[in-house]
Amino acid sequence: MSDKSTRDHIVEAADQLFYHNGFEHTSFSDIADAVKISRGNFYYYFKTKDDILEAVIDVRLAKTRAMLDQWERDGRTPAERIRSFIHILITNRADIKQYGCPVGTLNAELAKLDHGSRPEAAALFMLFRNWLCKQFALLGRKRDADALAMHVLAMSQGVATLANTFQDDRFIQREVQQMDDWLALIADGEVPTSRPARVN
């Protein structure tokens, strides 16, 4: 039918450019230059720029699902799996320092543009939220699993935002360390529901 490589190259380049420079700030010409095709060729694969965004989000959704599945196979305990999530901050710290969190910044931009693909971008967050929720439930925190998932998500977002603004690596390291310690307490059942630890 169709040679998928060109379409894939477009989506791949758009994905990176949207992350690095933002969706609106990225033009057709920018993507065309990156893929080294003519500007007119886009219309053969995508009707509008918004269609490219949808394709990019779809790819990100698929990649995220694959990553979460992999973590579920690799991590022997729920705590280990949650730790895998937290440690993306370390793994991707170079990119985060330069461009922030790809999920958070995309959602923030689409909110300002009042863009039609906001729900799909939010689904990206929902993927992590539900996965984390599941892991906390397995940890025996069924009652407040979602609250804990949101808490971890919020921390990660905040750390990414500040690391980006202040261009600070060690801040990431420090906050991840704290989250690891916090997670260990949760895993040991030492933190009361929905409340911070209280010293006896």
Residues that bind a copy of itself (CB under 8 A): 20-22, 24-25, 98-100, 104-105, 107-109, 111-114, 121-122, 125, 147, 150-151, 153-159, 161-162, 164-166, 171, 174-175, 178, 181-182, 185, 190-191, 194-200
Candidates 8, 12, 16, 30; binder of DNA (CB under 7 A) is 30
Which residues in the 32-71 window bind DNA by CB under 7 A? 37-44, 47-50
Tokens 């407040």 correspond to 144
Q: In whole angstroms, how far apart are CA 165 and each of 55, 150, 153?
A: 29, 22, 18
Candidates 3, 114, 195, 199; binder of DNA (CB under 7 A) is 3
**Binding-site partner at residue 50 among a copy of itself, DNA, none, CB < 5 to 8 Å by type:** DNA
- Cβ proximity to a copy of itself: between 76 and 195 the closer is 195
Do residues 153 and 128 make contact, with C-beta atoms less than 8 angstroms apart?
yes
Per residue, the 3-state secondary structure of 92-122, as one string, reads: CHHHHHHHCCHHHHHHHHHHHHCCCCHHHHH
118 interacts with DNA by CB under 7 A: no
Candidates 29, 112, 170, 195; binder of DNA (CB under 7 A) is 29
Helix then strand then coil, in percent of the chain rounded to 5, is: 75, 0, 25
26 interacts with DNA by CB under 7 A: yes
DSSP 16-43: HHHHHH-TTT--HHHHHHHHT--GGGHH
Q: One-letter amino acid identity for 8?
A: D
Number of residues lying near DNA (CB under 7 A): 21
What does the binding site for DNA look like in residue numbers (CB under 7 A)?
1-3, 6, 26-30, 37-44, 47-50
